[in-house]
Amino acid sequence: MSRLTILGGCGAVGSTAARALAAGDYFSEIVIADREAEAAERLAEELGGGKVSGKGVDADDLDGLKAVMAGSDVVLNCIGPFYRYGPPVLRAAIEVGVNYVDICDDMDATEEMLAMDERAKAAGISALVGMGSSPGMANLLVKFTAESLLDQVESVDIYHAHGGEPVEGPAVIKHRFHSMEIDIPMFLDGEYRTVRLFEESGKALEEETEFRDVGTYPVYAYPHPETITLPKYIKGVKRVTNLGLVIPVSYANLIKDMVRLGLTSDEPLEVQGQKVIPREFAVAFVLSKRDALLKEAGIDSPRGCLKIVVKGTKDGEPHTYVFQMSSRGMGMGEGTGIPAALGAIAMGQGKITLKGVFPPEAGVDPQDMIKLAGEVIRSTGKGDRAPIYIEHIDKEGRVESMDLKL
């Protein structure tokens, strides 16, 4: 018997992971745990009941978290925002002694969780953090390139664009606010540097990028963990950047404006005798405008693309590899939820043996994960292979399409 508990299992990412996992025989029992207990029970029933059940859990209730984790072989944490909930949920998993996977894409939370490495080792558990799209599959494709295609990786530029999901929750908006407010780490010229989104240091990194199946969009600096973890594991790399955008551009600009105007403070203001927290107002305002902005941009379905450009040398000659994972029918939910499911499966199957707290490139075999991706995607009826497209550019600038052939 093997039990998986999915925390935040009714959200866009958690529910996608739950559907993918319930479609196969990877776990004999799946518990969907969510703040909305009735929604968790409905989703469990929709997925066939039997081995799938739903429970209520509050991420602010440490004892409740521990109780729902107890007896699990693997916990998959999809509760956001991770800058608030990532570290305490991981601490609870360590205290219970259960293997852990999450989709954390907040850089500061990742650093705090990586600092729990010794505690996790002492508890004898494996904790894989950041197993989504970016971070997650991005890290593994870079590792694959370093191990199988190049002698030396010199630079890694990661780009992502997505939008049009059926719904977005407050946690997603708060994550975006947070990402725009903090110092953003980049690895430039062989050293760590921080940039600020609205200052010249951040603006210098902005560029227009073409995304397969999605379009060409301006992207800006994102504080994702790859820029702090990849340089530790890809020896000799001189540059690692992460740039992204939520589409349409008008929606991204609205979110930026909330931050620019200082409307993301947590300090209450008195408005006509009522206490109002600016951040909560800003979240509600952004979400109230979302549907109109999507309609205005002609976006009526999810779409997304992760693009990784890896440059380096092989036998002394320069080579560039461009990886893209894209879809015009799937967005952030699938792009993050399916890799999260893969991480949970790999953990449950014993393919991940490293103990402690670590990013994907430290403890996951990329070829194992790519093979597993094809298997899971086929089981969900969303295709017959992992949607990874690769172009190789040689020293003469000639471009050829490649297949992973795994």
Domain locations along the chain: 3-132+332-380, 249-297
pLDDT at 266 over 60: yes
Residue 107 CA to residue 86 CA, distance in Å, equals: 11
> Cis (ω within 30 of 0) for the bond into 88?
no
**What pTM was estimated for this model as a whole?**
0.92
Region of residue 381 (left: phi > 0; alpha: psi -120 to 50; beta: else): left
Span of 108-122, 147-161, 189-203, 360-374 with lowest mean pLDDT? 360-374
Q: What is the pLDDT of residues 383-392, one digit of tens each?
A: 656 678 999 9
Q: What is the pLDDT of residue 135?
A: 96
pLDDT grade, residue 309 (50/70/90)?
very high
Residue 332 pLDDT: 59
The pLDDT of 307-331, averaged and rounded, is 90
Class of domain 3-132+332-380: alpha beta
Lowest mean pLDDT among 161-165, 226-230, 375-379: 375-379
pLDDT at 406 over 60: no
> Is residue 169 predicted with pLDDT exceeding 90?
no
pLDDT in tens, 333-348: 677 899 999 999 999 9
pLDDT digits (tens, 9 = 90+) for 276-292: 999 999 999 999 999 99
Question: Which residue is listed with tokens 């518990």?
Answer: 31
Q: DSSP strand E in 39-190: where?
A: 52-56, 74-77, 99-102, 126-128, 152-163, 184-188
Q: What's the confidence (pLDDT) of residue 293?
A: 97
Residue with structure tokens 């066939």? 48
Strand ranges for 169-227 from DSSP E: 184-188, 191-195, 207-211, 215-221
Q: Exposed/middle/buried for 295, CB within 10 Å: 0-12, 13-18, 19+?
A: exposed
The per-residue pLDDT of the chain, averaged, comes to 93
